[in-house]
Structures are given as structure tokens and as C-alpha cells.
A and B are shown apart, each in its own frame.
Chain A
Amino acid sequence: MDRNKLGKWLQSPGKMGQKYSLHALYFCTGCGIIEIPPTITARWDAERFGVIPVATPRQANLFLITGYVSVKTLRPIIRSYEQMPEPKFTVGFGSCPINGGMYWDSYNTIKHLDKYIPIDGWIAGCMPRPEAVFVAVTHLWTLIDKGMADGYKKYREDYHYYRENQEKILGKLEWPPLFSSKKM
């Protein structure tokens, strides 16, 4: 923890602000949500790490995708992700968004979530413990420091690839493209 290092704060205050005030979007995408209430309440207290849940995507900069993503949930996930202001970070929670997990042969779940939106980090396991969230958060701090948590930049750059993949699953999307495409 380098909270007391004033010099570092002064070097890049913006980065420090992003690091220590992660506003997690309150969106129960899957069964991983069961470990979020213990994480944010008294016993484990995620606020020690600056993580606090917020109500709407417009206020959030951390998207914890908690558990498997069904085809029907993918649409609100994309919408919520696109509504979040930059810089934004996404963390996949649990085995299922990584490669399908135990639903690898299900006809209605998305197998690799990073084909549709960029993901900055993964927490493996089913169910990951609350400590795993904190490990992920501290790891995300390192990534932000090094400028490696750049999923939102990738999304802007490769938007037409992502949009193409999204439309393959969901059909024609009803909202206009977020970014104007460079080469489509």
C-alpha cells in the first residue's frame, strides 16, 4: 500500500484517483453476486480498498462481471459497459466468463466474454472467495500504475471487431455504434 507516498500522488494524481476510488457497478449478472454482499459489508469491508458499489453505469468505473453470461444478459452487459465513462475497468469474476466453466456445452451461455467486451483481469474459481476480489483489486492497481489496464482504449480502437462479434450472437443491435468506425 503506497497511500502515504505524497510524491507519487503529486506525480500522477489522476491515476491515483482512479486507483483508490473504484466504483463498482451494481449489476447481478450471475451467481457470483452471492459473494459481493459479504465483500461490501462489515466483515470483509471492500471500502478499505476504495471499492464501493454504485447504482448506475454512469457513475461507475469498475465492472465486476459476476459469473456466467447468458445470451440474454450479454445485451445489458454491453449496454452498461458502453454507458460507463472512461477510464473504465472490467474484471471477470469466476470461471464461467473465462471459458464457459461448467456450462461449456450449454446452448445459452457465452463461452469467452473477452470476444465481446475487453476484460482487464480475471478471477478464477467457482466461487472465488471475497479475498480473491481484494487480490484482484490490488492487482488492478498495479496494472493501472503501469498503464496496462487499457481495455477501454482497446475497445475504442477495435470497436468494429467487437461490434461484429456482438452482432453475430445478438443479431442486429438496436443502438447506433458507440464510436465511428475507422475501416468497415
Chain B
Amino acid sequence: MRELELYFGPQHLGMVGNFSITLNVEGDRIVKATANPGFLHRGFEKLMEQRTWIQNFPLVCRINVVEPDHMELIYAMAVEKLAGIEVPERAQFIRSIYLELARVGSHLFGLWAYANMLGFDTVANWAMYHRDLVLDLFEEITGGRVYHIYIWPGGVRRDFPKGFKDKIINTLHTIGSCVPDYDDTFFNNRIFYKRSKDIGKITHEEAKRMGAVGQVLRATGMKQDIRKIEPYAAYDQVDWEIPVRTGGDAYSRIWVVRDEMIESVRMILKLLDKMPEGEVYNKIPNPFKWNIPDNEAYVRCESSRGELGLYLVSNGENKPYRAHFRTPSYNHGLTILEKALENESIADVGNIMISLYITAPEIDR
């Protein structure tokens, strides 16, 4: 059969984000896939070198639009480590609650994309509505729906408003009470099973060899989570489980996402119970005259897509000398995607891409 070259994206309904893949196809089968990123490259790390330490906060949160809060956290953590700033206990709890809310929102967005791609429009509408409820909470604290700039070196910018705890609990109960509905219509649905079982399969060995993290790794049966390995914020204060599946295919990955979302909801409720009183930020020096001593730091956290790292170098000036983000989608989108697409059919490209949880802005930066 003759081999054809097919351009998939960036303007394509099955494509999430501004990303492109070149497919070599034989009939309906994909022989070879070549990822073609760069449509969203803004040169963030170069821009960060030209702005002061605090001016960088509006910039870093825009690296990944789906989960800007983890980007803020990782940058704040790196700055704290370089400058030696302590974070008060209450701020650590607020950070954890806030990040878990962001994770719930991000997973609901992923669920929207996946359900929409499979044609489950009802579930997609539910997921997007529930995400909006989470965004309403963010809006109440910070005033912004998408970008918040709430996490700050030395803590968070302000305390939770009065009665906010009850609002979080209410919202989580609304979302949690719909989980049986999600299960009935989507997760236990035969169509979902048939569309995703054994699609985009990655074995445990392959996943390790190609640098998989996050859901992609946990769907192959490995309990790896930076929140457990290297606890930051208040993740070591409460008990929680790492959800794991063993299939390694799209089906397992989406189930891991679902389990993680429920675990996050449980974790927020536990964190809210344990939250201590006190200050929410420590004072930082005058941002206009803030020089950070000559040093370097590598910090990492678990974003909703996997291990997120930041390598930050300072040379004693009021600006970073070099920043480099290690983003989870980078390996998923460039190394694993090419492997996972081989010998699959064209109809499953979107399926595999969304189940690998790829966001294009994270790859391009």
C-alpha cells in the first residue's frame, strides 16, 4: 500500500491546543508520527532574565494556561530556596488547598476534552460547569478566573475571606455528589471502554525509558508522586493515597485522572479540618532593591500532569540569570507521543493525545 504524509493540526478539531503532528499513514494505520511543536513559543526563559524577581510572577503563571498555580508555586519555591525565606504554617496549608483546587479544575478540564472528543457531550458540559464552580472560588479570593498570582515568596498574598471554608466545602460536595452520575454515564460506559481499552499502550519499561511522569507513569503501575517523595507545602500533614492502574493504555490513564480528582477532593476536606491559625505571609525585602545571592536551585513539585521542575540560577543581581522549566508534557508530547501513535489508527490520534494529558504551551514555553 502507498504511504502518505498527513498533516494533523494545528487547525484541526481533533487537536488540543496549538500543536501539530506529521503522520505517515498507510491506509488507516499510522506508520510514523513526527511531533511538530513551537506554535506557542514565546521565549519565556529569556524574558524572565530581563525582569526583576517579583515582576516575573505575572509571567510564569502564563506558561501553562490550564494550571497556572503550579507554575507560580514552583517559581515561589525556587525563590524562597535561593533567598532563604521561610513560609508560615497556615500559608503552607492554604497553598496545598489552593493547589488541590487547581488540580481538580485542571482534571475537570481534561475530562471535558476527553469526553468531548469521544462524543459524550453531556459529560463534557457537566465537567466544564463543575470547573466553573472551582473558578468561582478562585475569583472570590483573587479576582481572576484564570490567572491568579496568589502564591508569593514567603506565603500567599492574603488570607481566605470570612466564610470561605464553607464555600469550598459546598462546592466540593456539589462536585462529589455528581461522581456517581459521571461513573454511570461515562466511566462505566461500554463505549468509553471500547474506545480507549488497549489504545496508545505504553509498557512500564518503555514509560521509564522515555521519561514518563504523572498519570502516564502511574497508569503503568508505579506509585510515583513528588507530593509523597519530596513533600512540599502541607502534603505531609495529612494521609492520602496515590491512585495507580496497571493497564498503561488510555483507559487506565483516564481512570487514574478520575481517582486522583476524588483523592484531591478528600485531601482538601482533610486539610481544611487541620488548618492552623496564624500569619499567611512573611515579609520579603523591598522588591525594587531585592538582590538574591549568587546561587542555584533545582526544585520540583507535582503539577496535575506530573513532575514539574525549575532550575533557577542567580548571579547576585535583581534578576534571574537563567531559568529553565522542566515540564511534564515535554517528554509526553515529544518522545512518548511519537511512540504511542505508531500502529494506531488516524481516528485515535486525538484520543491518545488527550489521554497522555498533553498541553502545548507547556512544551513550547
A residues bordering B, Cβ < 8 Å? Answer: 25-31, 33-35, 37-38, 41-43, 55-57, 68, 70, 72-73, 76, 80, 102-103, 105-109, 126-127, 129
A37 and B47 form a contact (CB under 8 A): no
Chain A residues whose CB sits within 8 angstroms of the CB of B128 once the complex forms: 37-38, 41-43
Chain A residues whose CB sits within 8 angstroms of the CB of B16 once the complex forms: 28
B235 close to A (CB within 8 Å):
no
B228 close to A (CB within 8 Å):
no
Neighbour of A73 across the interface among B40, B112, B132, B146, CB < 8 A: B40
Number of A-B pairs whose CB atoms are under 8 Å? Answer: 92
Chain B residues whose CB sits within 8 angstroms of the CB of A41 once the complex forms: 112, 124-125, 128-129
Residue of A28, A107, A126 ringed by the most chain B CB atoms within 10 A: A28
B62 close to A (CB within 8 Å):
yes
A28 and B17 form a contact (CB under 8 A): yes
The total of chain B residues at the interface (CB under 8 A) is: 39
B residues bordering A, Cβ < 8 Å? Answer: 10-13, 15-18, 38-43, 46-47, 50, 58-59, 62, 65-66, 109, 112, 124-126, 128-129, 131-132, 135, 144-147, 360-361, 364
Return 6 A-B CB contacts under 8 Å, by A number.
A30-B18, A34-B65, A34-B66, A37-B112, A68-B42, A76-B39
B147 and A126 form a contact (CB under 8 A): yes
Complex CA gap A27/B66 in Å reads 17
Chain A residues whose CB sits within 8 angstroms of the CB of B135 once the complex forms: 38
B11 and A57 form a contact (CB under 8 A): yes
Q: How far is the CB of A146 from chain B (nearest CB, A)?
A: 31
B145 and A129 form a contact (CB under 8 A): yes
Chain B residue with Cβ nearest A57: B11
Interface of B is mostly: loop
Q: How far is the CB of B319 from chain A (nearest CB, A)?
A: 13
With contacts A41-B125, A41-B129 known, is A106 near B42, CB below 8 A? yes
A42 and B62 form a contact (CB under 8 A): no
Q: How far is the CB of B260 from chain A (nearest CB, A)?
A: 20
Chain B residues whose CB sits within 8 angstroms of the CB of A38 once the complex forms: 128, 131-132, 135
Q: How far is the CB of B120 from chain A (nearest CB, A)?
A: 13
Q: How far is the CB of B333 from chain A (nearest CB, A)?
A: 15
A105 and B129 form a contact (CB under 8 A): no
Chain B residue with Cβ nearest A80: B11
With contacts A37-B112, A41-B125, A108-B41 known, is A102 near B132, CB below 8 A? no
Neighbour of A33 across the interface among B17, B58, B364, CB < 8 A: B17
Chain B residues whose CB sits within 8 angstroms of the CB of A55 once the complex forms: 12-13
Complex CA gap A80/B39 in Å reads 15
Neighbour of B10 across the interface among A76, A106, A108, A127, CB < 8 A: A76
Q: How far is the CB of B51 from chain A (nearest CB, A)?
A: 9
Chain A residue with Cβ nearest B125: A42
Complex CA gap A31/B109 in Å reads 14
Complex CA gap A156/B364 in Å reads 34
Complex CA gap A16/B12 in Å reads 29
Neighbour of A43 across the interface among B124, B129, B147, CB < 8 A: B129
With contacts A35-B146, A127-B147 known, is A73 near B10, CB below 8 A? yes
With contacts A43-B128, A70-B41 known, is A26 near B147, CB below 8 A? no
Complex CA gap A73/B42 in Å reads 11
